[in-house]
């Protein structure tokens, strides 16, 4: 019988602009880019130069600290440009797709007929290994490790997040191949976590070689870190891997077709879109065609990912490697005269500062305005209301700022990631960039442990 876990602490932010259940095919887009910054703790070494021809699955760069881990091209075409920033840091490798798409054949195989080493080799050679990440640190998994468990969150509870039931409908056989491959990589269990009210697809419920746990409650119940915390917490020295459901599908396609197929369905969402919908794209695609003639006028914020944890990009930039959503909301570049004194019926408020709390199911248009400036920390007890983990958030933040590694370990730094503190940052009265502080702490402790 499946487990049931209820999350009581958290917050659902109801935004306007939910994607309609229609899919538009944008696979014909020809501009793509790989960004080394998408991979935490990755030291890239280029394998291509401008003008080089690449195929689908051709290695573009590898990790200097572990040469087995390669990032490969999602399309066949020409390396258009290599963009560098300060100190010649590689920011983007831009690739223009050709009319005829040619892919490297890595060989079809049934994962059940292969051992761990053979599966690992196929994933590494194709570049698909990069889709498998580990906690702690949220970095690409080390192929030499054996995790104590692998986690797959079958739902995303973030604002306007994609519906994986809809995206994976009818793809159960390929999804199962991905599960079978992952099952050979761990001595522990594969935990497939579903929402008791959202997930109804048989693609998930009929999956084999997994332990299904049903969650209920508000965001961040869909965060894999919260799920790990409630099922199999991470202690010092533990390693847990996690994979997005669409990336499990990608792994399955590698074994079914023998080729790297980076196509996926993403949610185009946000209040400033004229038509919010789903789009079929190839990973790392340029988003300009996705939003062209489909946004309202005004100064807009384009986000690769969701409104809480996504990255700010331009309308001509590229989808993040791990992102399955584009969000468009108003830029908060204005001031309100006596805004604090108005009833705020159209303003979302966690602390009930406005009367909008009387309409709990109402959806809102939220911009990026701070509605105040940075200020000293105020102990309000609000953080704990949106973080459903047995962790003291205020003390954790202070320990990181003080670079107190012993205290960070005692407070549970190995269990958390930036996304777990996104709601804490959202409701913070001090207007502090808490997610960047958490990343600083993770990078610091990883450096010390290495």
Q: How confident is the model at residue 201 (pLDDT cuts 50, 70, 90)?
A: confident
Check residue 396 and report its DSSP letter: H
What are the structural domain ranges in the chain? 1-7+103-332, 26-97, 383-449
List pLDDT tens digits, range 393-434. Answer: 999 999 999 999 999 999 999 999 999 999 999 999 888 999
Average pLDDT estimate for 351-359: 65
Structure confidence at residue 192 as a pLDDT band (50, 70, 90):
very high
Output phi, psi for 43, to 5 deg.
-110, 100
pLDDT at 338 over 90: no
**8 Å CB contact between 220 and 423:** yes
What CATH topology corresponds to 26-97? OB fold (Dihydrolipoamide Acetyltransferase, E2P) (2.40.50)
Q: How far apart are CA 317 and CA 359, in angstroms?
A: 37
pLDDT at 1 over 90: no
pLDDT for the residue numbered 361:
77
pLDDT value of position 379: 76
Looking up tokens 């209820």, which residue turns up?
A: 6
**What is the pTM (predicted TM-score) of this model?**
0.95
Statement: residue 114 has pLDDT above 70: yes
Would residue 284 be called left, alpha or beta, if left means φ above 0 and alpha means ψ between -120 and 50 degrees?
left
Q: What share of the chain in percent tops pLDDT 90?
A: 86
The pLDDT of residue 341 = 54
pLDDT tens by residue, 21-76: 999 999 999 999 999 999 999 999 999 999 999 999 999 999 999 999 999 999 99
Taking alpha carbons only, the member of 130, 94, 161, 89 closest to residue 317 is 94
Asked if 79 and 64 count as a contact pair (C-beta separation under 8 A), the reply is no
């Amino acid at each position: 019988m499946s487990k049931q876990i209820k999350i009581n602490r958290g917050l659902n932010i109801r935004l306007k602009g939910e994607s309609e259940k229609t899919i538009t095919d944008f696979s014909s887009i020809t501009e793509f880019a790989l960004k080394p910054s998408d991979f935490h703790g990755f030291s890239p070494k280029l394998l291509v130069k401008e003008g080089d021809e690449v195929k689908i699955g051709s290695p573009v760069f590898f990790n200097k600290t572990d040469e087995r881990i390669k990032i490969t091209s999602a399309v066949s075409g020409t390396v258009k440009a290599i963009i560098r920033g300060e100190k010649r840091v590689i920011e983007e490798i831009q690739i223009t797709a050709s009319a005829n798409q040619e892919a490297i054949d890595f060989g079809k195989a049934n994962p059940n007929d292969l051992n761990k080493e053979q599966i690992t080799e196929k994933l590494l050679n194709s570049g698909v290994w990069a889709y498998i990440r580990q906690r702690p640190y949220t970095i690409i998994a080390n192929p030499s490790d054996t995790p104590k468990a692998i986690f797959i969150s079958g739902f995303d509870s973030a604002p306007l997040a994609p519906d994986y039931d809809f995206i994976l409908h009818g793809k159960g056989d390929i999804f199962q191949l991905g599960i079978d491959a992952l099952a050979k990589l761990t001595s522990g269990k594969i935990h497939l976590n579903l929402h008791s009210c959202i997930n109804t697809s048989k693609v998930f419920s009929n999956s084999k070689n997994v332990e299904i746990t049903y969650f209920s409650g508000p965001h961040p119940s869909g965060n894999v870190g919260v799920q790990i915390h409630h099922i199999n917490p991470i202690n010092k020295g533990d390693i847990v891997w996690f994979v997005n459901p669409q990336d499990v599908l990608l792994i399955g396609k590698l074994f079914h077709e023998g080729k790297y197929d980076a196509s996926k369905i993403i949610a185009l969402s946000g209040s400033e879109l004229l038509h919010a919908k789903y789009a079929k794209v190839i990973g790392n695609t340029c988003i300009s065609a996705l939003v062209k003639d489909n946004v309202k006028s005004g100064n807009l914020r384009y986000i690769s990912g969701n409104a809480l944890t996504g990255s700010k990009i331009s309308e001509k930039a590229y989808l993040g490697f791990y992102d399955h959503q584009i969000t468009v909301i108003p830029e908060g570049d204005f001031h309100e005269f006596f805004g604090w004194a108005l009833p705020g019926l159209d303003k979302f408020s966690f602390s009930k500062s406005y009367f909008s709390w009387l309409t709990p199911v109402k959806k809102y248009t939220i911009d990026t305005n701070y509605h105040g400036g940075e200020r000293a920390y105020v102990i309000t007890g609000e953080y704990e209301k949106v973080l459903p983990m047995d962790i003291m958030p205020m003390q954790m933040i202070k320990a990181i700022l003080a670079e107190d590694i012993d205290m960070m370990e005692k407070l549970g730094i190995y269990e958390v990631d930036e996304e777990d503190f996104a709601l804490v940052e959202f409701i913070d009265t001090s207007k502090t960039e808490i997610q960047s502080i958490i990343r600083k702490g993770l990078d610091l402790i990883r450096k010390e442990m290495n």
